[in-house]
Amino acid sequence: MYADTSAKKLARPVTLSRLQEMKSEQEKFTCLTAYDATFTHVMNAAGVETILVGDSLGMVIQGQDSTLPVSIDDMCYHVAAVKKGNSNAFILADMPFMSYSKPELALDNAAKLMQAGAQMVKLEGGAWLCDTVQLLSERGIPVCAHLGLTPQAVHKLGGYKLQGKDQAAADLIMQESLALVAAGADILLYECIPTTLAKSLTEAVPVPTIGIGAGPHTDGQVLVMHDMLGANLGRRPRFVKNFLTDGRSIQEAFEAYVSEVKSQTFPAPEHGFNS
């Protein structure tokens, strides 16, 4: 049911320009985390447009209690594995904790990820990243800026909590989003923010937006692969749906995710947050 449509979507490689076109055409796109060649290959067959090699590997692969212990060498290893299994999806790679604390350090580590096979790097943070984003952009490295709930700052935030709840916090995320785009950010990713705020942000910025726990109005959606396959080690987050049901294979679960994102039936209201 899903495979024929998905296969057509990835008949050619997905590029940053194609993602921008999809935003302009109001066509939703999908993103899942992957950490190896095999699952990447299956995601390609299912029509997943973008793949995030996430530092979430610290938790779902390494068994850590946060993403903080993940190193740049860990990330490069898994990016290279994903690259070998990839044909047409666009690959994003997380820059791990403290690998971009200074612009020059960020440039060196981003170069390692790009050489390993990434097509874009993702950094967590707000306006303080503008100088770093500008440097990477000037050197030809595409950047995804991650705002809202930023897991690498979980101890500073006091846990995995909804961000942007009051007007002042929402205004700050808007201001920082516009500043990061002006600095050269090519995609903005929002995690655990109110649905109405995510809608306003997506309408305000000229670049594609990706949401997780941000409601249905962002241009793209991302989930951790293990979560959407029901392989949660702990409590399932509110914004997660298990797609490995009804006798589906793993590829069919990925295809169902693609179909539901594109038809805008996922995320449903129960997967989002009110302010």
The response to whether 55 counts as a known ligand-binding position is yes
Closest CA to 116 of 92, 97, 100, 139: 92
From 191, 252, 255, 260, the catalytic residue = 191
The answer to the question of whether 200 is labelled as a binding residue is: no
Candidates 271, 264, 173; CA nearest to 215 is 271
Residue 132, number of CB atoms within 10 A of its CB: 26
Q: Is 275 annotated as a binding residue?
A: no
36 is in an annotated binding site: no
191 is catalytic: yes
Distance CA 205, CA 245 (A): 36
**Residue 73 marked in a binding site:** no
> Where would I find the beta strands (DSSP E) of 130-235?
143-148, 187-191, 209-212, 220-223
Closest CA to 52 of 64, 63, 62, 39: 39
211-215, Cβ contacts within 8 angstroms, sequence gap of 24 or more = 211/267, 212/239, 213/149, 213/237, 213/238, 213/239, 213/271, 213/272, 213/273, 214/148, 214/190, 214/239, 214/272, 215/267, 215/271, 215/272, 215/273
Residue ranges for the known binding site are 55-56, 94, 122, 124
Residue ranges for the known binding site for Mg(2+) are 55, 94, 124
| Catalytic positions | 191
Residue ranges for the known binding site for 3-methyl-2-oxobutanoate are 55-56, 94, 122
